[in-house]
Structure 1
Amino acid sequence: MPSLHEFATWEPLLRLLRTGNAGNLAVPGGHVAGQISHYGWSLPLQRRIPRPGQAAQVEDVQDEFDAVQRVQGALADIGADTISFTAEISPTGRSVLHLISPGPAVEPGIGGPHPGSLILVEDSVPEPWRRLPDPVPGAVPAPSVDLASLERTLRERVPGAVGATEAEIAATEARLGVALPDELKVLYRVTRARWEDWGEDHAVAERVFTAVGCELFPLDDLYIADASSRPCPWRFGAREAVVTPPDAAVQGLVGSPGWIAFGDNGGGDRIAVDLTPGPRGHTGQIIMLSHEDNIGAGLLADSLSQLVLEGRGPGRRGRHGDGPPAVARVNIRSLDSVRAAAHAGLEVLSLGVWEGAPFSLAPVTGLPRLRTLTAYPGTLADPMEIAELTVLEFLELGPEDWRVLVDAGAVPRGLSAAAIEVHGSRHPLQVVALANELLTLWDRPPITRTIVEGHLEPGV
């Protein structure tokens, strides 16, 4: 198979792009752009709409699949995860392909050819991912804990199950670096939940899952659901905030060294024992971490005993608190001014689509916790006001606003990450050039660009 940087690898895809984008390519400066990874692709191709009542057929998109798989194979050959590209194709068939590799300092873009967040400080993560649980000195196990009833019920429901030995439990504790709570030890002394112990019989496994109230992990697969186990791109993580109201049962964390994941609800949501509960929670309560959320968890049961004996609750979450929100959005459907968002506890300010006059940032100048600012292009009256936001760690702006800061030498040097918000048909190479200017300010590896040239036969 040709390599990623050979024209033959891309030729089938370029033929499809030329056919589907003839009008765009014919104008001066016309180009097509896209992104391909191991897991999917984003391409400017119009797929045929099936007739009413008929499903799309594989053969309708077979040429696209074949062309993309050719590039995916070349990616795999060099151990790369993703590649973005832009291509100019003249009416004569002359083709200039620009391959854009993000490199170690750039997160992949989402759904398009433009770069994702720029990691200006190596290995940095958003503030919520650095947050550890607050101590709750008065937390105790729930009154519902009943070790004898828990063990008796489990043995009745899964008779003859193979339980873990004390040595196996001790080895798990050593691997995790934390002592397992008594209820979890009781559970795994009854069944260690290994697939081979069930004779690889799905019916037996289902009986165990029903008995416990979740899809139980084998003892060897227990893990600490700390913040590192819940990775998130900077662009989204920087918009989150840890909030734990005084009456919360569960702390509003990304993860905790006291969250021991031991199961799944069957839909990708993790079930964990919580050893670092909120102000109104119990040590050893059972929580669920939704795969659709970047942060926080819901309370399922006050104890493992309650989960097994009574069944799990709906995964309720606590209130967000009565004070002003730590995350504020100003746009045509939310808050209508920056002043309305401003308060001492504000951490994240997002300026979205707006039809009125651009905003001044004066109302939030000097706020002690404002660490994230995202501004939709055209929403800032004066980008230079950003220099007064002294604790920013993440900044997302449109290219024009970034240009103002870069040309003035006013890019905040306390940033850990940044992003360029792109709308419309801006050429990806212009955005890459701007991104590399920002990366250079922190002496970070640039986005690389490789030019591949070739010729497509007319009409082929």
Structure 2
Amino acid sequence: MPSLHDFATWQPLLRLLHAAHAETLTAPGGHVAGQISTGAWSVPLPFRPPRPGRASQVSDNQEQFDAVGRIVEALEEDGSDRVSFVMEASSAPDDVRLHLIGPGPSAEPGVATAHPGTLLLVDGALPEPVRRLPDPVPGAVPAPSASLALVFGLPRLRTLSTCPGTFADPREIARLTHLEYLELPPAEWRVLLDAGAVPTGLLAAGIEAHRQRDNPLETTDLANEILTLYGRPPITGITVLEGAACTGN
């Protein structure tokens, strides 16, 4: 049976990824990332279209299905339900460095991405309050569309999720003292952490990272800073494997 932490188990998939993303991997900071679970996967590989007049079949992309199937089999053998990975170029020509990221006790897995999902900052907190209806409040009405001024006019706001560049000065978020869930891009989190301005009453948090542009290893480091700030256990289950992307090398 294939082992999840054996480079040979991953080699067929790494060969396909290396061929598809050779230019990306040779660029400074270049990486390729994805997630594989026992029921689905998100791997940045192109699918070959079927021949004209014929429906798509597994055999059209058999190499990819076989390569991912080895990882799924290893997950089942390991008793795990999913694994996230980041592939980078190694110092040796055609070699790659593979980072396998396991789940953390205070971090939900990302959805179809190698980036960490919701960070649980308090015992018993449920993932992503943004997806749950708030408790009924007499006189509550739908809020207008959010903007930096409108947001700060809602001092009892409990959930805030923003895109890059929403705030001229992210440090103003500290004024929202009733926030329970905060989701920000990495750059905005960096500003808050460096300024010591992360709201103290959060129950959960999220990092709005770009699936491929942002490196999940850096996002994981950022997540660990947030978890540590709240006295939560960090994400530590990272295994590093290294070897040739192609068996012929």
After TM superposition, the score normalised by the length of structure 2 is 0.89
* Aligned: 1:99 with 2:65: no
Superposition deviation, residue 323 in structure 1? 6.3
The aligned residue for residue 440 of structure 1 is 228
Equivalent residues of 1:98, 1:452 under 8 A apart: yes
Letter in 2 for 1:362: F
CA displacement at 1:244 relative to structure 2: 9.0
**Superposed displacement of residue 94, structure 1:** 1.0
Equivalent residue, structure 1, for 2:198: 411
| 2:67 corresponding residue in structure 1 | 67
Query: Cα distance, 1:119 vs. partner?
Result: 0.6
Residue 81 of structure 2: aligned partner: 81
Aligned length: 246
State whether residues 18 and 89 of structure 1, in contact with CA within 8 Å, keep that contact through their aligned partners in structure 2.
Answer: no
Unaligned residue ranges in structure 1 (runs of 5+): 126-232, 246-321, 331-336, 343-360
Q: Which residue, out of 163, 166, 171, partners 1:379? A: 166
Task: Determine the C-alpha separation between the residues in 1 that align with 2:141 and 2:230.
Answer: 35
Structure 1 residue 20 corresponds to structure 2 residue 20: yes
Matching residue's letter, 1:76: E
The structure with the larger Rg is 1
Distance in 1, Cα, partners of 2:230 & 2:148 = 30
User: Does 2:40 correspond to 1:32?
Assistant: no
Counterpart amino acid of residue 416 in structure 1: L
Is the Cα–Cα contact under 8 Å of residues 152 and 176 in structure 2 kept in the other structure?
A: no
Shift of 1:93: 2.1
1:457 aligns with 2:211: no
Q: Percent identity?
A: 53
Contact 2:11–2:246 (CA under 8 A) maintained in structure 1 = no
Relative to 1, partners in 2 of residues 1:459 and 1:111: Cα closer, same or farther, differing over 3 Å?
same
Does 2:128 align with 1:234?
yes
CA offsets per residue over residues 370-391 of structure 1, 9 Å max, x none?
1111111110111111111111
**8 A Cα contact 2:33 2:44, kept in partner:** yes
1:325 to 2:219 alignment: no
Shift of residue 103 of structure 1?
1.5
> In structure 2, what is the Cα distance between the partners aligned to 1:323 and 1:442?
31
Q: What RMSD, in angstroms, separates the aligned Cα atoms of the two structures?
A: 2.4
Q: Tell me how far apart the structure 1 counterparts of residues 40 and 104 of structure 2 sit (CA, whole Å).
A: 19
SS of the equivalent of 2:9 reads helix
* Pairwise CA distance, 1:428: 1.3
CA contact (8 A) 1:93 1:458 kept: no
Which structure 2 residues correspond to residues 28-427 of structure 1 after superposition, within 5 A? 28-89=28-89, 92-125=93-126, 233-234=127-128, 236-238=130-132, 240-241=133-134, 324-325=141-142, 328-330=144-146, 337=147, 361-364=151-154, 366-367=155-156, 370-423=157-210, 425-427=213-215
Say which is worse superposed, 413-422 or 68-77, in terms of deviation. 68-77
In structure 1, what is the Cα distance between the partners aligned to 2:89 and 2:248?
13
Letter in 1 for 2:243: G
Give, as a single letter, the amino acid of the residue that structure 2 aligns with 1:71. I
Shift of 1:52: 3.7
Question: Quick one: higher RCO (CA 8 Å, sep 6+), 1 or 2?
Answer: 2
